[in-house]
Amino acid sequence: MGFSKEMVIKAVKENGQNEGAVLDALLAYKTFEESPEDEHVLDDPCHAELASNVLDVYPDKEICENEEFKNLSTEKDRTVSLLVEMGYQAEEALAAIDRCSLDTPIAELVEFISAAQFAYHTDAQLGELSYDNKIHQHQKVCVLFLSELTCSSDLRFLNQLYTMFLIGFPKLNGPVYMSKKKRKFYDNEMRKLQKQRKYLEKQPMDHDNEIVHLPNPMVGFGVPNQPSPVLFQRRIPDEAEGRPYFYFENVALAPKGVWHTMSRFLYYIDPEFVDSKFFCAAARKRGYIHNLPIENRSQLLPTPPSTIHEALPHTKQYWPSWDKRMQLNCILTCIGSAKLTDRIKKAVEKSGDEPLPGVKKYVIQQCKKWNLIWVGKNKVAPLEPHEMEMLMGFPPNHTRGGGISRTEQYTVLGNAFQVDTVAYHLSVLKRMFPDGISVLSLFSGIGGAEVALHRLGIPLRNVVSVEISETCRKILQSWWDETNQQGKLIHFHDIRMVTAHELEKCMSTFGGFDLIIGGSPCNNLAGGNRSTRNGLEGSKSCLFFEYYRIIELVRSMMRHR
């Protein structure tokens, strides 16, 4: 029948010894004339999850052109500056960098400094105890920590704490060296602790504690028209309660331990995981950490379409009966190629009224992957930007015009908030701030948070927007002008350049912030990013710690106003 050796091997590998399935696959390959793997399309690093959005919006060129960034002469200066902004002493920051190296993630530098502070105060409290008694107390402290460990980050803290007891505390004149007798004693004690630590690291419980289990269905603390989940007792620590409220978003399917770490930095508040398919006709699995109330939420009206045919009625007449999709997958930052849509058209046409099972399988797979819709007889096409705007909850032409290319439209929409979902969570603010709200919008993008608040009817008195993409800043400013906002919109370009001084200037003008909102880049978190999916240590996703830095700064300054 003219099947190549490679095609036969591929079919057998995929279908085993089932002759019918192998023949069906071969016929499908023949229909497409070449193996599906030969298709080259614009890639998006989100396809493994189909519910993530990744975009490199921090180009080195823009950073390098920033004059303030040039003033930070070295990477060490920048790291020290960041730690000082977080409230640590410059001496502590320098000592931590010297001990841990400049490449150490900010989170571990913070843990190092915390361990040093704890060890220093513990040693001071022991006072004039004898040498042996003091050593014994050091060991008791470490064993106490060991008994309460829950995750590998706590293990790092213990290791750093014990190192402090072992070699001394960070000082400007360098480390404290010990006598041979003292070091020998400490070495023996450390071996005992390391045995206990190795045992603890092998326990499955430790790893499970770093995994935040996603609910199924992904309805968070409740969504409209769905059964209420069985709620645990939601705990908001005293230091995280009240104004300024904060709201953080990122992809739900992040690498192991990421959500645990982000929750730990954001006051140990449990994430709320929600799929936007309960709010619109497209899925979008996201996690949210916030200190907002969860009672008496309300949905935006009118409620958006919840199925493909409700949202895109022109597709219904062309939709084949064997395509059972009711909703689209996550809106991506890129689209399927013309070559792909042409190949699908030819394959379906060759198959007649009823395509072969192998053809159906491949077509459905590609339609799900690229959110292709049926726009004519045997014709599929990617979503248009205005269709994406509607699905994401933005007003018509929100990203159109003003020098914005179609490629840029796809990119910024794929990275945006789903407005209806976010508005549902923010709806509790309407009765709190009837006269208007002051917002610190971090990683603003195309203004999803601002659009949500506006659609809720909450006046935007002041918005400080931090967004590095010039395209996104243009779109937000254009929307602000077109909707005749009466408040004040202030732009900052790079979150790393937002200092305590700049924040104080803003707050002194309008009395502080009511809400801090944003979602840091998910470039190194999304499931489809196989090359640099290295979690919060990634060059883009590490900007989460800037979000944390800003929250700590603002809440600290507002407490002391």
521 and 496 Cβ atoms separated by less than 8 Å: no
Q: Which of 142, 334, 472, 522 is catalytic?
A: 522
Question: How many CB atoms within 10 Å of residue 455?
Answer: 17
Rounded CA-CA distance 135/189 in Å is 9
Element (H, E) at 407: helix 406-414
Q: 511 in the Ramachandran plot: left (φ > 0), alpha (ψ -120 to 50) or beta?
A: left
Asked if residue 302 has a cis previous peptide bond (ω within 30° of 0), the answer is yes
Name the token pair of 393. Answer: 């909850």
Give the pairing of strands 488-492 and 272-275. unpaired
**Long-range contacts of 9-15, Cβ-Cβ distance < 8 Å, separation of 24 or more:** 10/35
350 and 31 Cβ atoms separated by less than 8 Å: yes
447 and 399 Cβ atoms separated by less than 8 Å: no
Rounded CA-CA distance 101/512 in Å is 37
Name the token pair of 290. Answer: 């916030």
Rounded CA-CA distance 507/243 in Å is 13
| DSSP classification of residue 282 | B
275: which strand partners? 285
Give the pairing of strands 285-290 and 272-275. antiparallel
448 and 414 Cβ atoms separated by less than 8 Å: no
CB within 8 Å of 236: residues ≥ 6 apart: 267, 269, 291
Our answer to whether residue 522 is catalytic in this structure is: yes
Instruction: Report helix, strand or coil for 376.
Output: strand
Rounded CA-CA distance 337/39 in Å is 9
The string of DSSP letters for 167-198 reads: H----TT-PPP--HHHHHHHHHHHHHHHHHHH
Nearest-Å Rg of the Cα atoms of the chain is: 27
338: which strand partners? none
Q: Look up residue 429 and give its amino acid.
A: L
Rounded CA-CA distance 437/434 in Å is 8
Rounded CA-CA distance 412/510 in Å is 30
Indicate which residues carry an active-site annotation: 522
